[in-house]
Structure 1
Amino acid sequence: MIQLEHISKKFKKKTVLNDISYTFEAGKIYGIYGINGSGKTMLLRIISGLVFPTSGSIIINGKTLHKEISFPDHMGLIIENMELQPQLTAFENLEELNKINHYATTSDIQDALRKINLESNEKVKKFSLGMKQKLNIAQAIFETPQLLLLDEPTNALDTDTIGCLKAILEDLKKKKSCIIIATHDHQNITSLCDQILEMKEGNLYDKN
């Protein structure tokens, strides 16, 4: 469970997030839509622990972020400009990432690539934009995260791959993962999510 308590973020005189309080529950898929600059990516960055809020608290499974924990445990993440190693294959990229936590097995890595229908032995430098996005998804899910934060996950994906993504998210939902998707495209998340939220000028609105 992710509890946001009066989260605000300001840069000088600009308010990016305005006093947001909301609870994201385990075993649900949430979609946050809004135009570019509305604050949705910043909210994901703050939940991930990559950015500190100006004020407010983030409580993750009873532990306060930046006080009791530095980052959420067992988190998967896609946020803009993810770094991939072009000289390595898709499989080797995930092997390198796995050295951080050692949560996944070789089988887990292969399974993540299979689920998103990505060839594991081709070097990333030869990848199309869509293939790179598939690898972004694979790196976010291969450790079976308890918290999954996805910023514009359907970018550059074809219809078949969006179907694969939906199946992946449904499987993680059954395993009680909390999944939060941010996008500018309301239509793309309607079929993926249990709960739809709108981010507008730094304010979060429940649309259900």
Structure 2
Amino acid sequence: MAAIPPAVRARGIIKTFGEVLALDHIDLFVPGGQVHGLVGPNGAGKTTLLGLLLGLTVADGGRLEILGAPVGRTLAVPDGVAGFVDGPGLYPSLTARQNLTALASLRESAVDASEALEQVGLTDVADDRVRGFSLGMRQRLGLAAALLTRPRLLVLDEPANGLDPAGKRHVHRVISALAADGTAVVLSSHRMDDLAALCSEVTILATGRAVFSGPVSKLAAESGDLDYRLVTTDPDAAREHAAQTPGLRLVPGKNTDVVVHGSTPSLDELIARLVTAGVALRELGPVVPPLEAAFLRLTETDPS
């Protein structure tokens, strides 16, 4: 049986806009069934790369294959790709159902409007006009539009933007289910919690270059030493033990919490000291989550 080609294989992709180098020799590999995160500061090149995957622009150099087909100036993105960049394009004067019905009439659709609306949790507002929708509802309707053709590659730009916790949970379930069925998903997000919940791998862009690409677990390991906040029954004793623990330093604070900076092994030693001394530990966590800390470290120290 022939091997199934990856959903995305990009090598050395270059894209310029005038004198601006938007993408600088970008490599990207996304197999089917993977949710791949794309993150970076504003202006890093995320939107440009997503646009290449959707056929909205073409690369100036490098090689791009989508669903096994080479994509260039004379060959459009193959069927089986769907998604949106910079928010979904919708008709505000039409209802949600009418929007999807109109889109389905323009292309061969494998999913009817009612099924797509049910998938994203918009059945109750199916016959409401889109002009009254919140940002989160528009994002969910854009996802429903992308699902009409049962895509093999789904490209999403900030799909959780504007969603309340229930809506975000619903969208996360839809994306995870699609990946479980073999669909490759490439999504951009500024939220590290979305990456941790959805993505198995992530690519971080900074000034058009990939400063990291790999498993989310490896990204977390890139965070280095962190600030940790401890809530204990005896803050003064906790500070005293922290000051005596090699590899830790106290971070000045204005409340009763104890904040220390250091490595995980040093923090483990402090916890052991507190337990031995009978100081109860009620709360412990990083001040900045490891994924966010790694993102900041990689993008802030990137030479440009």
1:76 to 69, 82, 103: 82
Percent sequence identity over aligned pairs: 29
Choose the corresponding residue for 1:132, options 134, 138, 145: 138
How far apart are residue 105 of structure 1 and its match?
A: 4.1
Matched, 1:191 2:197: yes
Which has the higher relative contact order, 1 or 2, with Cα contacts under 8 A spaced 6 or more apart?
1
Give the CA deviation at 1:67.
Answer: 6.0
- How many residue pairs match? The answer is 206
In the alignment, structure 2 segments of 5+ residues that lack a partner are 1-5, 216-304
- Which residue does 1:116 correspond to in 2? 120
Aligned to 1:61: 67
Q: Given that residues 29 and 178 in structure 1 are in contact (C-alpha distance below 8 angstroms), is that contact kept between their aligned partners in structure 2? A: yes
The alignment yields a C-alpha RMSD, in angstroms, of: 1.6
Match of 2:54 among 48, 53, 62: 48
Which of 202, 206, 213 aligns to 1:206? It is 213
**Corresponding residue for residue 23 of structure 1:** 29
Offset of residue 202 of structure 1: 0.8
Q: Which amino acid aligns with 2:213?
A: D
Q: Secondary structure at the match of 1:131?
A: helix
**How do residues 90-101 of structure 1 correspond to structure 2 at under 5 angstroms?**
90-101=96-107
Point out where structure 1 has 5 or more consecutive residues left out of the alignment: none
Counterpart-to-counterpart distance in 1, 2:139 and 2:157: 11
TM-score in terms of structure 1 length: 0.92
- One-letter identity of the residue aligned with 1:117: G
**Are 1:167 and 2:153 matched, yes or no?**
no
The CA deviation at 1:143 is 2.1
The range that moved more, 191-200 or 147-156, is 191-200
Amino acid at match of 1:165: V
8 Å CA contact retained: 1:48, 1:72: no
1:14-42 CA-partner distances (Å, limit 9, x unpaired): 21111012211111000111111110111
Shift of 1:69: 3.7
